[in-house]
Amino acid sequence: MINETARRETLVSPIMLEVIRYCHCKMRIEYPLNVNNWLKGNLDYLLRSRSTPEEPSQNNLLVIEANKDDLTRGFTQLAVELIALSHIEDRNILYGAVTMGDVWRFGKLNRSEKQITQDLNLFKIPDDLDPLIRVIVGILEGVEP
């Protein structure tokens, strides 16, 4: 069993760094969020696409690490954090991913419909590394995944 720090340093961070290099986006690590007494905490990774006057910011992506290698509970945590993030973001659609380092799953919050959807696809590292990065880049560049 790999500990959280080792997972972050060897599996998650290299992927995040490659994405920010490619997209020229900004990344916040352990981003503090305090909406109210029930919705507060630190978001593991928040990727924000760059915006220019010619090209407004497309999307952001919240990435969280599943505690205790439990992807199901991790997705529940992701859903709660997307809801909290929706209180401070001026977006109708918010994207997120939950990872155990070697397995990734995506989700989406549609704020106007009050609906969270979970992608059925799992991305496994190293076999699905290229498709995983394509999905992340697509989200950040505003291409519907």
- Please name each of the domains of the chain with its CATH number: 4-140 (3.90.1570.30)
Give 63-90 pLDDT, tens digit per residue. Answer: 999 988 899 999 999 999 999 999 988 8
Q: Kindly list the distances between the CA atom of residue 127 and the CA atoms of 24, 48, 103, 131, 134, in Å, as whole numbers in the listed order.
A: 25, 26, 10, 9, 13
Q: Provide the b/e sequence for 87-110 (b: ≥16 CB within 10 Å).
A: eebeeeebbbbbbbbbbbbbbbbe
**117-133 mean pLDDT:** 96
39 pLDDT band (50/70/90 cuts)?
confident
* Nearest alpha carbon to residue 41 among 2, 87, 6: 87
Cα(140)–Cα(117) distance, rounded to whole angstroms?
Answer: 18
**15-20 mean pLDDT:** 93
37 pLDDT band (50/70/90 cuts)?
confident
> CA-CA-CA-CA torsion for 26, 113, 67, 123, nearest 10 degrees?
-70
For residue 142, the model assigns a pLDDT of: 85
Polymer length of the chain: 145
